[in-house]
């Protein structure tokens, strides 16, 4: 199964995330201090049937990753999401 991880940054409350499958919310959390904390919380809550995660930050999808990549290279995935989101927002403002 592939799930979607949606992360949002909403000041001053920090970061929030929701894990969804087929448009249905499975679980989530809010008030976290970083993108990495959201990723860790999401990974901890996933069952063994989940093999990959579609990663979205601020409603912009940066990629679909095997679960092992999220678990072993979270900094790279988070940086890619930040870079992708910044590039898309910049392009929208041109």
Query: What pLDDT does 13 receive?
Result: 81
Judged against a pLDDT cut of 90, whether residue 40 lies above it is answered with: yes
Q: Are strands 24-32 and 52-57 parallel, antiparallel or unpaired?
A: unpaired
| Whole-angstrom distance, CA of residue 86 vs CA of residue 81 | 8
Predicted confidence (pLDDT) per residue in 65-86, tens digit: 999 999 899 999 999 999 999 9
Classify 2-92 by CATH class: alpha beta
Helix (H, G, I), strand (E, B) or coil at 52: strand
Encoding tokens for residue 53? 């995660």
Which sequence spans correspond to the domains of the chain? 2-92
Query: What pLDDT does 10 receive?
Result: 79
Task: Compute the average pLDDT of residues 19-40.
Answer: 94
Q: What is the pTM of this model?
A: 0.90
Judged against a pLDDT cut of 80, whether residue 11 lies above it is answered with: no
Query: What pLDDT does 43 receive?
Result: 93
């Amino acid at each position: 199964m592939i799930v979607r991880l949606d992360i949002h940054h909403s000041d001053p409350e920090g970061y929030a995330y929701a894990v969804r499958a087929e448009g249905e919310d499975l679980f989530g959390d809010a008030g976290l201090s970083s993108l990495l904390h959201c990723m860790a919380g999401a990974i901890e809550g996933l069952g063994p049937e989940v093999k990959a995660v579609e990663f979205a930050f601020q409603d912009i999808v940066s990629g679909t990753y095997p679960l092992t990549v999220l678990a072993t290279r979270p900094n790279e995935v988070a940086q890619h999401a930040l870079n992708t989101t910044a590039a898309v927002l910049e392009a929208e403002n041109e």
